[in-house]
Amino acid sequence: MSDLTSMPPPKKQDMLEVVVIDESVALSIGDVGKGMSHGEFEGIKALHQVVPKGVPRPVAWGTYKSNPNIHFYLCDFVDMIEDLPDVPKFCALLAKLHMNSIPLSPNGKFGFHTMTYEGTMWQDTAWLLRPLESHGRKVTPVLVNGDIWYGNIAVKAETGEPIMFDPSVYWGHNEYDLDNMKVPRYRMGRPWMREYHKHMPISAPEEDYEDRINLYEIRGHLCASTLYPDTTVYRKLVISEIRKLVEKFLDGYQGQ
């Protein structure tokens, strides 16, 4: 199955209306826009608590008094260079986020205290623990960015250090943040994954690593499909990946 190496331009009717005033203010419309503004603020606030130099400081979110249908998210302005950051520096930052967030988990479960979004898709962030724990194995949830790709990471112009923005945060499996790295259209690649694992080991069972990444990768294809509904390749990728996983794991997560 072939993959796209770049994103097609979305049609206006496919997109939620979001107006970026500058790099520190974004406006959004309607109930979905309100949820996105709230989720963005809470997610960035959680990331900033762990890696304050790795994300813009969130300031506020809210609704216009003059128009209750318009909502805003406000953060500190950061002068950025729109390039992929240095691989070792970024992967060290990502690993630091994952490792240092563990003691801050509110309940040791997977999920988040408010709804967050990837694109215009809301994420089910209800707290849960299973089925990620089975056969005596334990996966410790960490704070994940949730949407790492070349459009959501950059380089600070002043320091040359990496910075992340526009995340889809929740408490989850750290390997979830690696899913986009192996997808050609996101312009990263396996060297990023290998660099990350210099700081964080592959979870057990190691032999299922590629399958876990493929499972997490489905989420990105679904998001792309909602943003570009006329581009069928994303839905074909979803179907292909699901079929491969179902055929390999006929007994589901309870299988040996």
- pTM for this model (two decimals): 0.86
User: What mean pLDDT comes out for the span 203-213?
Assistant: 92
Judged against a pLDDT cut of 70, whether residue 21 lies above it is answered with no
CB atoms within 10 A of CB 207: 8
Q: What is the DSSP string of 97-142?
A: HHHHHGGG-SSS-BB-SS--EETTEE-----B-TTSS-TT-----E
Mean pLDDT of the chain: 87
CA-based max dimension of the chain: 59
**φ and ψ at residue 12, rounded to 5 degrees:** -60, -35
Tell whether the model's pLDDT for residue 3 goes beyond 70. no
Assign 202 a pLDDT band (cuts: 50, 70, 90): very high
- The yes-or-no verdict on residue 1 having pLDDT over 50 is no
The reported pLDDT for the residue numbered 23 is 57
Q: What is residue 33's three-state secondary structure?
A: helix
Question: pLDDT tens across 228-241, in order?
Answer: 899 999 999 999 99
What's the CATH number of domain 12-250, 3.40.1030.10, 3.30.70.100, 3.90.1200.10, 3.30.420.40?
Answer: 3.90.1200.10
Residue 254, both tokens: 């309870």
Q: What is the pLDDT of residue 238?
A: 94
Cα dist. 103→46, 49, 141 in Å? 13, 12, 10
Domain boundaries, the chain: 12-250
b/e burial code for range 112-132 (CB count within 10 A of at least 16 → b): beebbbbbbeebebeeeeeeb
Share of the chain above pLDDT 70, in %: 86
Gap between the Cα atoms of 132 and 184, Å rounded: 28
- pLDDT, tens digit, for every residue of 119-156? 778 888 888 765 556 667 788 899 999 999 999 999 99
Residue 158 in 3-state DSSP? coil
Summarised one tens digit per residue, pLDDT across range 28-74 is 889 999 999 999 999 999 999 999 999 999 999 999 999 999 999 99
Task: Tell me what pLDDT residue 59 has.
Answer: 96
- Asked if pLDDT for residue 254 goes beyond 90, the answer is no
